[in-house]
Amino acid sequence: MANVIVAALPRELYLNDDTRLPDPSPDLPVEEVQDLLTTAYPELATAKIEGPVDTGKALRFTFRRFIGSKG
């Protein structure tokens, strides 16, 4: 009989693919993490969440900045 190992992948958070963000608590939903990190990264206030993407080592969530125009 084969042994099956089940393990949860860690979560990685990125801002626009190039800035890795800290994960304050893996138990929090990504939306709550976004709210918590908005004080340090104001651009997260209007960011869209993409993911998760399985990288093989982690589940990657990316916050994409919303770029709009005034007026």
The confidence score (pLDDT) of residue 65 equals: 86
Domain assignment present for residue 69? The answer is: no
Average pLDDT value for residue range 62-68: 83
Contact 65, 20 (CB under 8 A): no
pLDDT digits (tens, 9 = 90+) for 8-39: 899 999 999 899 999 999 999 999 999 999 99
Report the C-alpha gap between 9 and 47 in whole angstroms: 24
Question: Which residue type does 22 have?
Answer: P
Q: Identify whether 4 is part of a domain.
A: no
User: Domain tally for the chain?
Assistant: 1
Instruction: Supply the range of the domain harboring residue 19.
Output: 11-64
> Does residue 31 lie within any of the structural domains?
yes
Mean pLDDT of all residues belonging to the chain: 91
